[in-house]
Chains A and B, each alone.
Chain A
Amino acid sequence: MPSLNHYLVLSAILFAIGTAGVFVRRNLITILLSIEIMLNAVNLTFVAFGRALGSAEGQIIVFFVITVAAAEAAVGLAIIIALFRHHESLNPDTFTLLKW
């Protein structure tokens, strides 16, 4: 029977994988996908703690996190479409307008 610590270690590993994706990849869509991995790791932590404490709040906050993730994905992808239209590239290194 897996304990709470098993789930917490798994979510820590998943969160670190998402962070590594943001650090390593140079493609805006993959970076957004890495953010989704991180959000899911946090969701897993909430559900595991909610199960350990016997309360439904852990599942309710997951509901809100998924809603915010949907809003973030919609706005982020709209920004990516607008950027791709101007630069014909998804590499964040090419977006240097605000750099001095």
Chain B
Amino acid sequence: MLFYLFATAAVVTSLLVIAQRNPIYSVLLLIASFGALSGLYVLLDAPFVAVIQIIVYAGAIMVLFLFVVMLLNPPAEAIEAHRLFGRRPMIVGSLLAVLLAIELVWALTAAGGESGAFPGASVSSVAEIGRLLFTDYAFQFEVTSILILVAMVAAVMLAGRRSTQEPREASADATIARRGE
């Protein structure tokens, strides 16, 4: 059955993502996980979401991650235990995550109600999504574009080289100019 195939692939690759010490393998495995999720979206009659999952997530965001990993070339994560707590944070964190999984399964299935198959009616046309996006959700759409603009400016400012030295140089130039007068 296709659902179990994609679900197993998504869970296994996600587990491998957090089991790797080398971030490059993590990023590549996460792309595989996104591919499996995209298959699940197709099964849910959402081809638009499946396509933007591949194009935007696997194609753009993950390439950004891969670019940063290769740019920084970070060392593989250290194996030695934490100097104060040893291996306890890992064990406690895994236990808390298992607890969260149980709690979420209980909460979501209690809210989900009937466990039958999906009703026949489904909205899968891209035209319908586009119409909603530019009528009912037009304001949110514009706010999102401003968010993207802000994030772009912030990324350039944070990662740009010499962003802290330029004011100093400018003031140095100003003092030189003042001395020259």
Contacts and interface: CB of A to CB of B under 8 A. Distances in A.
Interface of B: 1, 3-4, 7, 10-11, 14-15, 17-18, 20-21, 23, 26-27, 30, 33-34, 37, 40-41, 43-46, 48-49, 52-53, 56-57, 60-61, 64-65, 68-69, 71-72, 74, 77-78, 82, 89-90, 92-94, 96-98, 100-101, 104-105, 108-109, 112, 114-119, 121-123, 128-129, 132-133, 137, 140, 144, 147-148, 150-152, 154-159
A33 B64 contact: no
Contacts of A79: 158
Residue among B4, B10, B71, B121 with max Cβ neighbours from chain A (10 Å): B10
Interface of A: 1-21, 23-27, 29-30, 32-34, 36-37, 40, 43-45, 47-48, 50-52, 54-60, 62-64, 66-75, 77-82, 84, 89-91, 93
Given A27-B23, A78-B159, A71 B151 contact: yes
A37 B108 CA distance: 18
Contacts of A21: 17-18
